[in-house]
Structure 1
Amino acid sequence: MNISAIQSAPATNGIAPVVAMRQVHKSFGPLKVLDGVSFEVARGEVTVLIGRSGSGKSTALRCIDRFESIDGGEIEVCGRRVDDAGLDLRALRLDVGIVFQSYNLFPHLTIEENITLAPHAVKGVPKAEARALAAKVLAQVGLEEKLHAYPEQLSGGQQQRAAIARSLAMQPKVMLFDEVTSALDPELTGEVLKVIEALAADGMTMVMVTHEMGFARGIADQVVFMHKGKVHEAGPADILSLPSTPELAQFVGTGL
């Protein structure tokens, strides 16, 4: 498979991609983590980043939302150059929601308060409207009855779904998920993955880092296999069943 051709391919139908990484480089001291990474994500598309630990996939995700700065290359998200020193970071964060492995819910606030905080404080949404929005997004993730519960009263899977609802309340144009199920047992993992499947069915643009290969096969429009800081192989979900390189074949064969 000609990866360079995939990386340089323009967005289809002349429509600008929602996310574009172009020859992105990133190092932490002497450690090269991203070595010329390029891929694009079209509107409504689900792109899944896979690879062994240390391959650079989570760093790539964090660079999209500028949690990490880059050393070279370009990143464009929702029409904004993320690598631009003059970037309006607040505007970027309004367009991009990100959910991490850790739920990061405020323990002293109810689930409703966790969700309404940012829409009210950041976007100026009136409190009554923010509460209605919280009820709506909690229903979307199957937690409408947990509106007044505190995080400690929820299971891990419920807390992760609440974290997704909190991001959805900001009405982002793209959602990023970084190993959101890695701390959960299989039953709770299923709860969270069903929510993400529903978001995909509704047309949400998503970029995900996951080790759930079965889930990736079912949901991904594009799979990007990262290996030693590079995009080693990329294409539709079929590449997981018919890998073109021994590295991807070994990765999916071992389920790492």
Structure 2
Amino acid sequence: MTEVVRLSNVHKRFGDNHVLKGIDLSIRKGEIVAIIGQSGSGKSTALRCMDHLEIIDEGEITVCGHTFGKGISSTDLKQLRQDVGIVFQSYNLFPHLTVERNITLAPRSVRKLPAEQARKIAADVLAQVGLSDKAGCYPEQLSGGQQQRVAIARSLAMDPQLMLFDEVTSALDPQLTGEVLRVIEKLAAGGMTMVLVTHEMAFAMKLAHRVIFMHEGRIHEQGGADILRNPQTAELRQFVSNGL
């Protein structure tokens, strides 16, 4: 199968803090990978490096055909942003724009699509996340779960090859978490390649083709969902037993 993501000997430091210590990872088209681990283990940093939001200190990353290390041209970066969608814990919606305008902004400014085509895409992705009736609303009129679903729709509007999710449910209560996870399940059913940094262990077991446990800046253990039922290392056993 086609490889969508490859990290080769990736290191990342913030000052004296060596956060990623030689990460090697390959993700195939259509694969769903869940990254778990304690706070500070490097999982969110690894995700941000995949979208070049953090510049690595050593190694090489290839994502959707774009290869970069310490530098990347602005042209390549623009194309990378079209090929990769990323959704964060904070929704990052523009409060002064309606839901529809939040979604159409990038297709119109980056992809240079005409207004009518951008609105059609917005309607399609809002239907996909179950929010067709919210196009004219402002973010403050939506619940947290609805805002997060709009954030997902905004990424989908760019027709990405890869979706990255960084703890997207950690600020939500259980009911709103369920709303967002159902949208992600729907994307999975459609064959979207996804990497999820998550603390939702049951969801990771249900959805992920592969679970990666990070510990102290390294991939400590990985495998199918069964590694959460039968951890091979003391560190993962402790992590699972703590219910994190």
1:220 correspondence with 2:208: yes
Provide, for residues 81-127 of structure 1, a one-character-per-residue CA deviation record: whole Å limited to 9, x for no partner.
Answer: 13262441101111000000000000000000000010011101110
Runs of 4 or more off by more than 2 Å in structure 1? 84-87
1:95 to 83, 87, 90: 83
- The equivalent of 1:127 in structure 2 is 115
- The equivalent of 1:110 in structure 2 is 98
Q: CA RMSD in A?
A: 0.9
Provide, for residues 178-214 of structure 1, a one-character-per-residue CA deviation record: whole Å limited to 9, x for no partner.
Answer: 0000000000000000000100010000011000000
TM-score normalised over the length of structure 1: 0.93
Contact persistence 1:65–1:82 (CA under 8 A): no
1:56 correspondence with 2:42: yes
Q: CA deviation at 1:253?
A: 1.2
- The equivalent of 1:10 in structure 2 is none
- The equivalent of 1:74 in structure 2 is 60
Mapped to 2, the partners of 1:229 and 1:132 lie a distance apart of: 43
Mapped to 2, the partners of 1:126 and 1:163 lie a distance apart of: 21
How many matched pairs? Answer: 242
Q: Which amino acid aligns with 1:73?
A: G
2:10 to 14, 24, 28: 24
Q: Secondary structure at the match of 1:18?
A: strand
Q: Secondary structure at the match of 1:44?
A: coil
Q: Which amino acid aligns with 2:55?
A: S
% identical aligned pairs: 64
TM-score normalised over the length of structure 2: 0.97
Mapped to 2, the partners of 1:120 and 1:79 lie a distance apart of: 24
1:65 correspondence with 2:51: yes
Q: Secondary structure at the match of 1:123?
A: coil
1:207 to 195, 199, 205: 195
Mark the runs of 5 or more structure 2 residues left unpaired by the alignment.
none
Provide, for residues 27-55 of structure 1, a one-character-per-residue CA deviation record: whole Å limited to 9, x for no partner.
Answer: 10001100011111100010111000000
- The equivalent of 2:126 in structure 1 is 138
Contact persistence 2:33–2:211 (CA under 8 A): yes
Provide, for residues 61-99 of structure 1, a one-character-per-residue CA deviation record: whole Å limited to 9, x for no partner.
Answer: 000000000011111101111326244110111100000
Mapped to 1, the partners of 2:187 and 2:228 lie a distance apart of: 22
Mapped to 2, the partners of 1:16 and 1:175 lie a distance apart of: 16
2:140 to 145, 152, 157: 152
Q: Which amino acid aligns with 2:43?
A: K
Mark the runs of 5 or more structure 1 residues left unpaired by the alignment.
1-14
Q: CA deviation at 1:16?
A: 4.1
Q: Secondary structure at the match of 2:110?
A: helix
Q: Secondary structure at the match of 1:38?
A: strand
Change in 2 beyond 3 A, CA 1:213/1:85: same
Q: Secondary structure at the match of 1:101?
A: coil
Mapped to 2, the partners of 1:131 and 1:251 lie a distance apart of: 45
Q: CA deviation at 1:17?
A: 1.2
